[in-house]
Amino acid sequence: MQALLETFPVVVKIPVLWGDMDSFQHVNNVIYFRYFESARIQYFDTLGWNEIMKQEGIGPILGSTSCRFQIPLTYPDTVFVGAKITEMEEKCFTMEYLIVSERHPEPVAEGTGVVVCCNYKKNKTTQIPEVIHQAIEKLEDRVF
């Protein structure tokens, strides 16, 4: 499991809850997007983006997201969700997610999300702040 997540600088551990399952006796598809969200928010917290959002009103907003389901999850289990940035442009970047499980040796789901930088005071897109760009490069240990 650790080998599957070694290229992801942010990994969150999340218990699978009984209430996450649906009438088909597996975790509902909506929950996978919540798992992605948890990893994404942890990534932003690691960057210190909350402080910039408070000070300047510039923050991230999800533009699109997708998931490829590979193995159904069931309760009880624990998942580990990795998040990393694979592409960066002037105003947006693409995140990749991977969900692995304690009960399954293979990935259970993978996904992507396009995150757009938004000036919430002006309600319009804006450039990724340089301090965030640099923090991403440091966290990812690569240049975009």
Q: For a pLDDT cut of 70, what percent of the chain falls above it?
A: 100
Contacts (Cβ under 8 Å, ≥6 apart) of 90 = 127, 128
Q: What angle do CA 68, 97, 123 make, to 5 degrees?
A: 105
Superfamily of structural domain 2-140: Hotdog Thioesterase (3.10.129.10)
Q: Which pTM value belongs to this model?
A: 0.96
Contact criterion met (CB below 8 Å) for 81 and 99: yes
Q: How confident is the model at residue 126 (pLDDT cuts 50, 70, 90)?
A: very high
Average pLDDT over residues 1-21: 95
Mention every residue, 6+ apart, whose C-beta is less than 8 A from residue 37.
Answer: none
Model confidence at 25, pLDDT cuts 50, 70, 90, reads very high
pLDDT score recorded for residue 70: 98
Q: Where are the domains of the chain?
A: 2-140
pLDDT > 90? residue 63: yes
Note the pLDDT of residue 125: 98
Is the model's pLDDT at 2 over the cut of 90?
A: no
